Structure formats: structure tokens, C-alpha cells
Amino acid sequence: MEQLARTAAALFEAHGYEAVTMEQIAATADVAKGTLYNHFPVKEAVLAHWLHLELATNLAMLHDQLETRTGFAEGARFVLDHSADWCETHPDYLAPYLRFRFLGIGIGTELSSSRDSEQLSDIADTFGWLIRRGQTSGEIRDDLDPGRLAIAFHHLYLGSMLRWLADPRLKLRKEFAATVELFLHGAAVPAHVSPKTSPKPRKRNS
């Protein structure tokens, strides 16, 4: 699967994602089309597998630096800053990848070491690790399941990328920073701040 994904990635880089077909990938990898489809039912699945391989490599390189950044917020911002760098360099891959990921939401959402190789390289595992560390340090409440929290944060992360793709005026780093803030502090008005009075609806002339 790794060989097929890396072969496809080389074709994507040379010709553009949209121009490459599954038949080209199979021919270049010297495998039968049926073999390719047995591993990857659609082209987006090949792309996702390659992106997860790249992500796993990048996260492994960042791990030692993550250890020195205490707390969920600092660690999450560090990871998301590097993610923003990658996304800004490969914007053409994000739309098909995100379509594929959102179609699969809710399938195999448990974060565990029993998942297949594609899922094990998911950034959600890193989010889960950061959340468990935050629960241990008291930064994040520990009465909530860390796997559920990691999934929620992951969805906010994917949503930030969708917003950025839809509006090129946005800055992805700012979107990611807002994601961390929303996850940690929610949308409710803090207890020490008086909520603003909602404006009364304006009367329409009859």
C-alpha cells in the first residue's frame, strides 16, 4: 500500500491530482487495476494514505520538540502551525482529501492501537496524546473521555481547513489558533463577563 501511495504521489506531483487516473497509478506501479482497487476503492483513498504517511513522518520528527512544550494549548498550537505550513504548500490536495475524510466521519472513530496503518498515522492520535497529557496536568477536565475529546478537536481542525479553502482571505494559522481557543474555553460568555443584551428586533412598517 505504501508503494502504491508513493507511486501515486509522484504522479500527482508531476501531473496534478485531478489529471491522474487510477489506471495510470496501476500502470506506473506495475500492478493490475484489480489489485489497486482491492487496496484503494477510490483515488481519494490513495491520496489519503499518502498524506497520512507524510503526516506520520512529520509528527515523528516533531515528537521530541512536542515533549518540551508543556500543556495542551502550547503543544496543539505547535502541531497546527506545522500543519498550516504543509497545507499552504499543498492546497490542491486538501479539497479532495477533506471530502474523503468527511464522508468517513463516524466510521471507526475509536482511537486505539488496533486501527490499520492508514488510521494510525492520523493526526487525531497526536491530539489524543496531547489531551491525555492535558488531563494529567489539570489543564483539561478528566471526567470526559479523551478519545471523544480528540475526535471533537479533530473535527474543529478539519472545519478550520474547510473555512480557509472556501475563503482565501483567511489566514490558516489564525483559524487554527481560534480552534484551540474554542476547544479549551467554549463559546459561552465567561462567568466574570456580563453578557451583552440582545438587540430588540426592529418593527417593520405595515
Q: What is the pLDDT of residue 196?
A: 63
CATH of 1-41, one of 1.10.10.60, 1.10.645.10, 3.10.20.30, 3.60.70.12: 1.10.10.60
What is the reported pLDDT for 101?
A: 78
| Closest C-alpha among 40, 52, 43 to residue 16 | 43
- Contact yes or no for 22/32 (Cβ under 8 A): no
For 164, the enclosing helix (H) or strand (E) is: helix 146-166
CB atoms within 10 A of CB 21: 12
CATH number of the structural domain 43-185: 1.10.357.10
The distance of Cα 112 from the centroid of its chain, to the nearest Å, equals 17
Low-confidence ranges of the chain (pLDDT < 50): 106-121
What pLDDT score does 192 carry? 67
Q: Kindly list the distances between the CA atom of residue 4 and the CA atoms of 49, 59, 137, 197, in Å, as whole numbers in the listed order.
A: 9, 22, 42, 58
For residue range 47-69, list pLDDT tens digits in order. Answer: 999 998 888 888 888 888 888 88
Task: Tell me which amino acid residue 114 is.
Answer: S
* CA atoms of 97 and 80, how far apart (whole Å): 17
Cell of 174: 489564525
Catalogue the long-range contacts made by 37-45 (C-beta closer than 8 Å, 24 or more residues apart): 39/1, 39/4, 40/1, 40/4, 42/100, 43/8, 43/96, 44/96, 44/97, 44/99, 44/100, 45/100
Q: What is the pLDDT of residues 81-115, one digit of tens each?
A: 999 999 998 888 988 988 887 776 544 433 333 33
Q: Does residue 124 contact residue 154 with C-beta atoms inside 8 Å?
A: yes
Same fold, 1-41 and 43-185: no
User: What is the residue extent of each domain of the chain?
Assistant: 1-41, 43-185
* Residue pair 69/78 in contact by the 8 Å Cβ criterion: yes
